[in-house]
Structure 1
Amino acid sequence: MRTMKVGNITVDSSNFTLIAGPCVIESEAQVMEVASRMKEITGLLGIPFIFKSSFDKANRTSISSYRGPGINEGIRILKKVKDELGIPVVTDIHEPYQAELAAKVVDMLQIPAFLCRQTDLLIAAAETGLPVNIKKAQFLSAKDMRNVITKVEESGNENILLCERGNTFGYNNLVVDMTSIIEMKKFGYPVVFDATHSVQKPGGNFTSTGGNREYVEHLAKAALAVGANALFMEVHKDPDNAKSDGPNMVKLDEIEVMLKKFIKIFKAVREVESNNYSL
C-alpha cells in the first residue's frame, strides 16, 4: 500500500489515522475549541490527527438549512487551526474553482460522495498536487472507484485516499458493506472509513438528514477489524444542537473513550495478521 503524507502526518498501515472535526464551521470559537480538544486527546493516545470541517455544505436537504460561512471566511478559520495548533487540515470542495483557493491553506482536499464522478472537480483537485480524499458515492460499488482513481492519476496526482461511507437503497437509510474496504484496498491506496456519515438517514427528518450515532462506535470497530487505515468522524460539543448532521455526530466528551477501544482493536488485528498471536 502506498504511504500518504498529509501535512506532517503519515497515513500508512502502522497506525490508524483519525480525521475529525465538526461537520460544518459554525464559528471560529467552535472550531478552535473542538480542534484544541481533539489535538490534546489524540496526542495523549498517540493517534495521528487531521482536522476536518466544511466551509460550505452545498448538498443540504433543505434550501433553508445552514450551509457554512463560505470559502473565504472558512479558509481563514482553517488556517488559524493549522497555524496556531500545528494540525494538518482538510476540507471538502464542491466546485472546481474552489480547489486552488482551498489548496493555499489546507493539507488535503476532500471530494464529497455525491460528487466523486464529477470529472472537472477531480481534475481540479488533482492539479493542486495535494492528497485527495475521495468519498465513494452512495450509489457506487467499491470496484467502480477504479474509474474515479484513474481520473486523478491521469491528471498527474497519485496522492489518493479512498473513503467508504455506506450505500443507499432509498427509504432514508444507508447500508455499510465492509467488504468495500477490502476491495478498495486492492487499488493500493489507503482506505478511510467514514463512521459518522455511514449512520446517516438521508432526508430522514423530511427537511433535514437524520441519523443514529449509537451505531458509530460499532461500525468503526468493524472497519478497523477488516483493515481500514483511517477513520473519519464528525465531532461536536453539542450534536443535538448542531447546525448540520447533528444526529450522527459524536459528542466531544465521548470521543476519548471510543478512541481507546479503537486502538486496542487495531493493535489486536495487526498482531494476528503479523502471526504473532498464539492461543
Structure 2
Amino acid sequence: MATTVTAPPVPKSPPDSPVLIDAATLSRPNRTWVPLPRWLRRLAGPALVVAVWQLLGATGNINPRVLATPAQVAQAAWELAKDGELASNLLASLQRVGSGLLIGVGLGVLLAVLAGLFRLGEELIDSTMQVVRALPVLGLLPLVIIWFGVGEEPKIALVAFAAACPVYINTYAGIRGVDNRLVESGRVVGLNRLGLIRHVILPGAVPGFLVGLRFALTSAWLVIIVAEQLNATSGIGYLMNQAQAWYRTDIIVLGLLIYGVLGLLADSLVRLLERRLLVWRRGFNGA
C-alpha cells in the first residue's frame, strides 16, 4: 500500500509586511525601452510642444499677430542674427547678469558664512536677511533708480539683490545642517576650529550652496527681463520692448525663448558642478 507524503504548507507573508528593496536594486542603472541617449529623450517633450504649436499656427487656429509660429520666430532670429543686433543685445544682457551674479553670490556666501559659523553673526545678520528676502525684488525698482540713476547700475543692483537672498538662505541652512557627529569626529582626530571649518563644515555646506546658486540663476534671469524693459538702450528685454510697439510677437517670443535657453544652460552648468564637487554623494536617480 503506497504512502502519500504531503508537503508542509508554505508560510505566507502577512499582508501588511513591508517590501524590502536592497541597495543593489536601488543602484541598478535605469533601463528604457527607447534606445536613445537620455538628453535626446528629454527633448521629446519640448519638440512635441513646438510641433503642436506650429500645426495650430499653420492651420489658422492661432492668429500670428497674437502668437507667432515657430517658423516665424526662427525667421526673426535669422534676420536679427544676420544684422548683428541679436548678438549685441545678448552680450549686453549677459554682462549685466554676470556682474550682478558675481556681486550677489559673493555677498550671499559671505553673509551666510558669518551667520552660520558665529552666533554673534547669526544674531546680527540672519534676522535682517529673513526680512530682506521677503521684500519683492521688482518693488525696489523705483528706489534703486533714485539711488543709482537710469544707467547700468540699477539693473546690476537688482540682479545682485535677487541672487544674494537664495544663496544666503541655502548656504546658511547647509552650514547649520552639518551633522554634529561629523564635527565631533573631526575633534577626535585632532582638528582645530579652523580645520573643522575647512574640512568638515564648509564641504558639508556645498550641497546647500549649489541649491541656492540654482535659485539665484533663475531669479537673475527673471529680474533682468523687467529691468531691461525700463530705461534701457540694449539687451534682450529692450529688444522685446521695442518689438511690442510694432506688434512683433515673433521677436517677443524669441526673447522669451532666449531667456529660457540661457536659464536651462545655467542650470545645466550647476548640475555639472554638482557631479564634480559631490562625487562622494550618491542619491536616488529614480526607479
Q: TM-score, normalised by structure 1?
A: 0.25
Indicate the structure (1 or 2) with the bigger Cα radius of gyration. 2
Q: Which has the higher helix share?
A: 2
Give the structure, 1 or 2, with the largest relative contact order (CA under 8 Å, sep 6 or more).
Answer: 2
Q: TM-score, normalised by structure 2?
A: 0.24
